[in-house]
């Protein structure tokens, strides 16, 4: 079945530095991947839709310059949190699917716990 790998699972960084999170579809090609953010004991908030070979589509209120998304290949999307601050600390989860939610439902990565100190 479809497997999505997310790396790293945990990262601690200093305030002001940048962190890159990778999301890979291991056994399928994903033209679209999604990035979510989850605060403790809360739901997942869609941040952006990552489109292979084109610019990402960001949800309202999400800073494009702060959360850089690159989807350079059909199996890899990256989220870079630039100039990270403690308020960026959160659980970030990516998802990808073969034919979209209507066909398959999406497979989710195991998430990345980001802590900015």
Partner 1 sequence: AQSVTQLGSHVSVSEGALVLLRCNYSSSVPPYLFWYVQYPNQGLQLLLKYTSAATLVKGINGFEAEFKKSETSFHLTKPSAHMSDAAEYFCAVSERNDKIIFGKGTRLHILP
Contact residues for partner 1, defined by CB under 8 A: 4, 6, 32, 34, 36, 41-44, 46, 49, 91, 93, 95, 97, 100-103, 105-111, 113
Task: Between 111 and 116, name the residue whose CB sits nearer to partner 1.
Answer: 111
Task: Between 51 and 70, name the residue whose CB sits nearer to partner 1.
Answer: 51
d(CA 29, CA 37): 23
End-to-end Cα spacing for the chain: 38
**Residue 101, C-beta contacts closer than 8 angstroms, at least 6 positions apart:** none
Report the nearest approach of partner 1 to the CB of residue 101 (Å).
4
Task: Between 46 and 72, name the residue whose CB sits nearer to partner 1.
Answer: 46
Report the nearest approach of partner 1 to the CB of residue 2 (Å).
10
**Residue 43, C-beta contacts closer than 8 angstroms, at least 6 positions apart:** none
d(CA 4, CA 110): 8
Report the nearest approach of partner 1 to the CB of residue 35 (Å).
11
């Amino acid at each position: 079945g479809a497997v999505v790998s997310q790396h790293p699972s945990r990262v601690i960084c200093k305030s002001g530095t940048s962190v890159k999170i990778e999301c890979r579809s291991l056994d399928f090609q994903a033209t679209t991947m999604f990035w979510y953010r989850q605060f403790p004991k809360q739901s997942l908030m869609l941040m952006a839709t990552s489109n292979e070979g084109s610019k990402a589509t960001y949800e309202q209120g999400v800073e494009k310059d702060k959360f850089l998304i690159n989807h350079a290949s059909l199996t890899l999307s990256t989220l870079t949190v630039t100039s990270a601050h403690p308020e960026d600390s959160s659980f970030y989860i990516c998802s990808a699917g073969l034919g979209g939610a209507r066909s398959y439902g999406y497979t989710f990565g195991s998430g990345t716990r980001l802590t900015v100190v």
